[in-house]
Chains A and B, each alone.
Chain A
Amino acid sequence: MEKDLSLELQAQVTAASEQDTPLRIIGGDSKAFYGGELIGEALSVAGHRGIVSYEPSELVVTVRSGTPLKDLERVLAAQGQMLPFEPPHYGDGATIGGTIACGFSGPRRPFAGAARDFVLGCKVLTGKGDIVSFGGQVMKNVAGYDVARLMTGALGTLGVLLEISLKVLPMPEQEVTLSMPLSTTEALDVMCARAVKPLPLTAASYDGEVVCLRLSGAPSALKAAQKKIAGEVLDYGEQYWREVREQEYYFFQSTLPLWRLSLAPATLPLPLQGQWFFDWGGAQRWLASDMMPADIRDAVAAEGGHATLFRNKHYYEGIAYADVFHPLSKPVNKIHQKLKTVFDPKNILNRDRFVIF
């Protein structure tokens, strides 16, 4: 199954660049719902797969972008290690390339770090057809601009990811989830109060009724932490967090537009109509709502956050300010345009998938 298709992909991109043909990059096709419109001919990266190098004692893995996420996670787990940002798959075929291109992180994010925090380096195929490498395979590296992290979450608009080097960490020995029924404001208070204390906290969510706190670490650490914080042990903790991460939890079954609100965790509940789910200790709030996009965006922006129209964007067809991503300030938008021109001057890669320039 291992195969290096770098040169084939390069030939395809070079030809597309010469002919001004837009390309839509596809890994496992599990995240087509996310981002703007899909435009252009398919550029399939799924065949470009395999682990290039992995040495558990170095805490670094280098992997081709088309490698299925579940395969990578299995290889790491066999060595007692994991991707610390607990990436969601959103589908069986999810690849590591798509995960990094989307920059998705799971419930562990506020306590361990985001996808971009664990990206050490990447090899990328730019819209000009160049294959270039940035960053490296070492923990610390400040030579050159941090292009590897710039690529993370750029949705392939700056280049096709070919190889990614990631920092991995040991899996915790044990995990326990504590739950407690609370009101929304109490829940936010509890999640923030726990996060300022040195507890082995690795997830904190609130579904509108119950706060769930996950603790991870050595059995002795969990025992000590449980003495300090209240809550009933949730028997199906592992299943709960998987459902939250994969958006399989009942909350996510709504057919209304699903908004992702990124806010400072202690932000008071916003006066927006809809159903709420709080993850990341309050820093990532899911809102299922058909309120006008402009009203949602204004309320979030007033608190210094931003809103992404995560799923069901077609609900708003023809309505203003219904772009998937939050608008950028004018000077920041200008920088985006210029960076896009640096890496993909003809705008062939995932055109219209990301922020509107």
Chain B
Amino acid sequence: MSQKKLLASLKSILPSHCVLSTEEELRPYECDGLSAYRQIPKLVLLPETVDQVQQVMRLCYAEKLPVVARGAGTGLSGGALPLADGVILSLAKFNQILDVDYANRIARVEPGVRNLAISEAVGRLGLYYAPDPSSQIACTIGGNVAENSGGVHCLKYGLTVHNIAQIKVVTAEGELITIGGSGLDAPGYDLLALLTGSEGMLGIIVEVTVKLIPKPDFVQVLLAAFDDIEKAATAVGDIIAQGVIPAGLEMMDNPAIRAAEAFVHAGYPVDAAAILLCELDGGSEEELSEQVDTVSNILYQAQASQVRVAEDAQQRATFWQGRKAAFPAVGRISPDYYCMDGTIPRKQLPAVLKRISELSKEYGLAVANVFHAGDGNLHPLILYDANIPGELERTEQFGGQILEACVGAGGSITGEHGVGVEKIDQMCVQFQPLELEYFHAIKDAFDEHGLLNPGKAVPTLHRCAELGAMHVHKGQLPFPELERF
């Protein structure tokens, strides 16, 4: 079908202001939060009803036109990066909270509703939606489901997959299906889990029923400073080993502390090698103060140089402010930064941090570390300058090596940002060819023509084979059974 004919067909489905086709209109969609990768799409479509989404998908299916779904475009792995020969299907117009069911503790929302808007809408009922990615002001729930987003409170309250009950999905063929149910489970295979975090590769999410949980009555935040990052890492394991599950347990290293302090003046100890922020919550003041005492003792025993307990709600907010502003704070001290997202078993923290600092010297690129220490999710920020020729490439190489170190330590290349285009090569390190084949077969089961976000998240075996030549571990060539080119 010619572009002209395609436009005419689309405009018979969608109002003409919902079809974007000129360069000025398409430019804002050229990238998501991973702005190092850019591509102008063929078209951008902004449907307003589920029926329109179905019709668009049927047309794209008939025309074998690739479709990349997009929420707010805040993703950090290039999951919503357009394809030159594909359309962007923006769900931005689906921005209504359809129903809040207080007694059943659920809310039915459209995919374009912002994460934070849900908690704001149900706050007066004493409820909230727990997953809180740092982009929660802007990111949408549809994107959260597609990426299985986390946040600072996942250790205690889980990821997106633990906090949704049902989704409605338009398939590659344009069929509308319901996955999950109004109860706590559904018959058949757990497709809800399979779809969550599938990065737009298996279907288009058009409605999400989220679970809501009661807001805790009492919250406290502790800030502990350490003169050695290893001591801080050990303290994290000690807290968990004592049977305390904090609502949030975050760590920042010295470069991150300095950047954050200069930016928001949270009162962080700028000479500390590392700080831990520990949020505790409970149902009574007494219970909470016992927990605060327990954790303070553990922190001192782990040789914290100081432990501060927030005096009031304002100070709690201030303690968190530095952590929440850590990324933009680092953005102020470096022309560009590259945010990684590996996870490791907690006990490996000291070893992996040491490896990162060695790599930092090797590459001559500084790193600031901010992480969800409680669940072993690292966010090393590599500082670089994209204007220096070759520096982005070196940064990506450095980042790739960090992720490989995470896999080597028994972890994963991504804890919450997704694979997208960014970490696709590291998938070859984490998975065997046979496992990747099963992933491709699962994709085929949902999308036989490979039209939904093709080329993302799961690498082809040939891509891995080509890369294999570059990553030889312990003298063993990965994928020995595949031909080399």
B347 touches A328 (CB 8 A): no
List the B side residues contacting A230 at CB < 8 Å: none
The answer to whether B182 and A113 touch across the interface, beta carbons within 8 angstroms, is no
**Quick check: is A253 within 8 A (CB to CB) of the other chain?**
no
Asked if B189 and A225 sit within 8 Å, CB to CB, the answer is no
Residues of A with C-beta under 8 A to B184:
109-110, 114, 262, 280, 283-284
Q: Are A140 and B105 in contact (CB under 8 A)?
A: no
Q: Does the CB pair B377–A139 fall under 8 Å? A: yes
Q: A137-B410, A169-B245, A331-B171 are in contact. Are A145 and B194 (CB under 8 A)?
A: yes
**A117 adjacent to chain B (CB < 8 Å):** yes
B147 and A142 form a contact (CB under 8 A): yes
**Closest B-chain residue to A148, C-beta based?**
B193
Interface size on A, residues (CB 8 A): 84
CA distance A244 to B445 in the complex (A): 39
Residue of B nearest to A59 (CB): B240
- B442 A145 Cβ-Cβ under 8 A: yes
CB B302 to nearest CB in A, in angstroms, measures 13
Check A9 for interface membership: any CB of B closer than 8 A: no
Cβ A132 vs Cβ B435 within 8 A: yes
Q: How large is the interface on B (under 10, 10 to 19, 20 to 34, 35 or more residues)?
A: 35 or more
A56, A80, A142, A153: which has the most chain B beta carbons within 10 Å? A142
A196 and B127 contacting across the interface, CB-CB below 8 Å: yes
Does any Cβ of B come within 8 Å of A181's Cβ?
Answer: no
Task: Encode contact with A along B276-314: 1 for CB under 8 Å, 0 otherwise.
Answer: 000000111011001100000000000000000000000
- The answer to whether B182 touches A341, judged by C-beta atoms less than 8 angstroms apart, is no
Q: Kindly specify which of A38-46, A69-77, A235-243, A298-306 makes contact with the partner chain.
A: A298-306
Given the interface pairs A150-B193, A328-B188, the reply to whether A263 lies near B445 with Cβ below 8 Å is no
Contact between chains at B458 and A220 (CB < 8 Å)? no
Is the C-beta of A234 less than 8 angstroms from some C-beta in chain B?
Answer: no
A329/B347 contact (C-beta < 8 A), A142-B148, A145-B442, A336-B189 known: no
Q: Does A217 count as interface, using CB distance less than 8 angstroms?
A: yes
Chain A residues with CB under 8 Å of B178's CB are 329, 332
> Please, which residues of chain B bring their CB within 8 A of the CB of A248?
none
Q: How many CB-defined contacts (below 8 Å) exist between A and B?
A: 260
The reply on B432 being an interface residue by CB < 8 A is yes
State which of B105, B106, B196, B410 has its C-beta within 8 Å of the C-beta of A138.
Answer: B410
B180 smallest CB distance to A (angstroms): 10
Q: Determine the distance from Cα of A170 to Cα of B428 in the docked complex, in whole angstroms.
A: 35
Q: Does A266 contact B (CB under 8 A)?
A: yes
Bound-state CA distance A56–B241 (Å) is 7
A:172-206 near B, CB below 8 Å: 192, 195-200
Chain B: CB-nearest residue to A55: B347
How far, in angstroms, from A335 to B189 measured CA to CA in the complex?
A: 10
In the complex, per-residue mask of B81-105: 1 if CB is within 8 Å of any chain A CB, else 0: 0000000000000000000011111
Tell me, yes or no, whether B141 is within 8 Å of chain A by CB: no
Best-surrounded residue of A109, A140, A154, A354 (most CB of chain B within 10 A) = A140
With beta carbons under 8 angstroms apart, the residue of B183, B188, B214 that contacts A196 is B214
Known A56-B241, A220-B290, A336-B189: A140·B150 in contact at CB below 8 Å: yes
| Interfacial chain A residues near B177, Cβ < 8 Å | 329, 331-332, 335
Q: Which residues of chain A have C-beta atoms less than 8 A from B238's C-beta? A: 57
Of chain B, the residue at the smallest CB distance from A134 is B435
Q: Which 7 A-B pairs have the closest CB atoms?
A: A224-B284, A149-B193, A304-B182, A262-B183, A140-B415, A170-B243, A338-B445
**Known A110-B184, A149-B161; 4 more pairs at CB < 8 Å:** A57-B241, A147-B442, A158-B189, A336-B188
26 contacts between A and B (CB under 8 A): A58-B347, A110-B184, A117-B158, A130-B438, A132-B434, A139-B376, A141-B343, A142-B418, A143-B413, A144-B457, A150-B193, A153-B189, A170-B243, A195-B105, A196-B214, A197-B214, A199-B214, A223-B284, A223-B286, A262-B183, A266-B104, A308-B187, A329-B178, A332-B179, A342-B445, A354-B188
